[in-house]
Structure 1
Amino acid sequence: MIELIQQYWPNYLYSDGFNYSGLVITLWLLVVSIVLGFGLAVPLAIARASRNPWISRPVWLYTYVFRGTPLYVQLLLCYTGIYSLQYVHTHALLGEFFRSAMNCTLLAFTLNECAYATEIFAGAIKETAYGEIEAALAYGMSKYKLYTRIILPSALRRALPSYSNEVILMLHATTLAFTATVPDILKVARDANSATYMTFQAYGIAAALYATIVFALIWGFRRMETRMLAYLKPQGH
């Protein structure tokens, strides 16, 4: 155990100028996929909630495909499947992009996260109280102001509990990154186990790091919910 900690603990936690630790890589995968997925999901959720089928149906198809297939399969398609296409590996920019394991992993994670977040936000948009919309229209708001000032702020706040669960699930999903040779926490744990045969210790450290990140996420989202959803609590007289 002491040997494993002395030799591999830096690989779990600490980075130098050339190599990043498993913890940094895992957090990078989580943050980038969440930020990009959120940025794409908001406009797609508006389209998904549209009553126009020419707008909502393509988004429904996208979310259906990415929520209906395993993330592991999506990762393999991005990592090995797309690059095997002749046009892709002969194209300068596309070939350079899909040769990178990190790029392929982030692409798969972002598209998957975006699909789930889109459905969460679209459901919250559809559940917006009609009284709020009617009041905004009566006030003379344009459709753009209606969404930016009334619908989206209200929907995103109400979607926060469900979205926080999705973020935690995305953290768990980052464990698939090691299959694309991305050196995340699980990859470091596998390397440590292969070198020392201390299976329980190697994976135990990884489990402790994941649990710590989850507790930090839960604490952060609970603080956000307390602040942003305070208006939904019953008010005393």
Structure 2
Amino acid sequence: MSYSQDLIPPRPAPPAAYTRLNPARVLGIVLLVIWAALGVGLLAMMITNWDQDKFVKYGPRLLDGLVTTLLIVAVSIVCGAVLSVPIAIGRMSKNRIANVITFAYVYVFRGTPLLAQVFMIYYGLGGFRDAFEQVDLWWFFRDAWYCGVLALSLNTAAYQAEILRGAIESVPRGQREGAASLGLSSSVTFWKIIVPQALIVALRPYGNEIILMVKASAILAIITVLDLMGQTRYAFSRTFDYQAYLWAAIFYLAIVETLRHVWAAIEKYLTRHLKR
């Protein structure tokens, strides 16, 4: 048997590779400079065209619209999450009728524009006023706020159902087999083993869905809902000042960025056991 008696002496780290400029890198630098110049110019215009009177007059309306937007998104996401559970179960069911019905639901609401769905609910269901009055539901369908929340809830339920179904099916089958070998019931296996792992997989897609709902809620301004975009349209119709839309964009950007950081913190906390 042979063995080495001398250790390899330590060597310095290899020099950093020099990356030469190429056309793609140059184009990226140029685009970054252009975007930075546009951002600086936009900020300069907002400062030079600042109107204190308009800000004092319409600022509270924008804040009220911001609160309305957050409330609409929160209610829609919660209602959509509740609806998505039976839809996801139906999509995974071996019952052909349940599978076909839930597939049709998901196919329609994911395959048609959200704007069309809002119009169908707000304007289309208005044609059934007599029927809704007989069952005392007209108070709901005559209000744009309720119709908007209903449309967003039905739309996000289809997306959340697919997120949940994909996450559950991504859990390896060996988890179920291992639970069965230990004598665990199917309900305990599903809720204690499958669902926790599935929710970790679905965490990031759920965050993306919430962000998309924040931006999609601006559509409700078209049916007279005075959310953030609705109040912005009102302010612009009175002042014809483009800065109203700039402030709306800043508010939406702040919401999205806050959600992104909060969701990243939640994901980091829930997946801390997966990191070494």
TM over 0.5: yes
Q: Cα gap change, 1:32/1:86 in structure 2, threshold over 3 Å: closer, same or farther?
A: closer
Correspondence for 1:2? 52
What is the one-letter code of the residue matched to 1:4? K
Q: Does residue 33 of the first structure (1) align with residue 33 of the second (2)? A: no
For residue 39 of structure 1, report the CA deviation from its aligned partner. 1.5
What is the one-letter code of the residue matched to 2:235? A
Q: Does residue 11 of the first structure (1) align with residue 61 of the second (2)? A: yes
Correspondence for 2:260? 218
For residue 219 of structure 1, report the CA deviation from its aligned partner. 0.9
Give runs of aligned pairs for residues 1-237 of structure 1, distance below 5 A: 1-13=51-63, 21-85=64-128, 87-199=130-242, 201-233=243-275, 235=276
TM-score normalised by structure 2 residue count? 0.78
Contact 2:203 2:267 in 1 (8 A): yes
Higher relative contact order (CA 8 A, sep 6+): 1
Aligned-partner Cα distance in 2 for 1:141–1:104? 44
What is the one-letter code of the residue matched to 1:12? L
For residue 89 of structure 1, report the CA deviation from its aligned partner. 4.3
CA deviation digits over 1:188-237, x for unaligned, max 9?
A: 111111111111x100110111111111110111011111123443x3xx
CA deviation digits over 1:47-102, x for unaligned, max 9?
A: 21233333322111111000001110110111110121255344242222111111
Q: CA RMSD in A?
A: 1.4
Correspondence for 1:16? none
TM-score normalised by structure 1 residue count? 0.91
For residue 165 of structure 1, report the CA deviation from its aligned partner. 0.6
Contact 1:189 1:202 in 2 (8 A): yes
Unaligned stretches of 5+ in structure 1?
Answer: 14-20
